[in-house]
Amino acid sequence: MSTATKNHIGRKISRIRELRDMKQEALAQAVGMTQQAISIIENSETVEEAKLAEIAKALGVSVEAIKNFSEEAAINFFNSIYDNDFSHSQGATFGTNMGTFNPIDKIVTLFEEKEKLYERLLQAEKDKVAYLEKLLNK
């Protein structure tokens, strides 16, 4: 992989979004942008720091996690999950850098993050309805 590809922030955002099972539309709504704007960002090699912080928050990761994201590391991490036997323990040790991974905790965390996103999306829709009703009443 070339250096340009490794440092392409837009592609990293796209891959993290896909790993989070999130569509561009959902990310766009979470950060108050259009789907087309997210598409442009995902095709951009660099992203403004403030916008990157908003996107990171919506994705539930840190800015550093986006900047340091590596496709190879993600694949190796998930492959190592399947290579370990979880039947005799609550988690598996992946070495000194990884610590203990408990898949139940990960599922609960992802569920909580999605629930928060859905709540934000629902509130945004309620705000839109209230605004449109206000316009109709004028």
Give the pLDDT confidence score for residue 78 in this predicted structure.
61
Considering the chain, what percentage of its residues have pLDDT values greater than 70?
Answer: 72
For residue 67, what are the CA distances in angstroms to 63, 81, 84, 108, 112? 6, 24, 28, 25, 24
Q: How do beta strands 92-93 and 100-101 pair?
A: antiparallel
- Residue 2 pLDDT greater than 50, yes or no: no
Question: Across all residues in the chain, what is the average pLDDT?
Answer: 79
Give the pLDDT confidence score for residue 101 in this predicted structure.
56
- Average pLDDT rounded to a whole number, residues 90-119: 65
Give the pLDDT confidence score for residue 85 in this predicted structure.
47
**3 state DSSP class of 134:** helix
- Average pLDDT rounded to a whole number, residues 45-59: 93
In this structure, how many other beta carbons lie within 10 angstroms of the beta carbon of residue 56? 20
Give the pLDDT confidence score for residue 29 in this predicted structure.
94
Largest interatomic CA distance in the chain: 66
Which pLDDT tens digit goes with each residue over 14-48? 988 988 889 999 999 999 999 999 999 999 999 99
Considering the chain, what percentage of its residues have pLDDT values greater than 90?
Answer: 41
Between 102 and 126, the higher pLDDT residue: 126
Scan for tokens 């705000």, then name that residue: 127
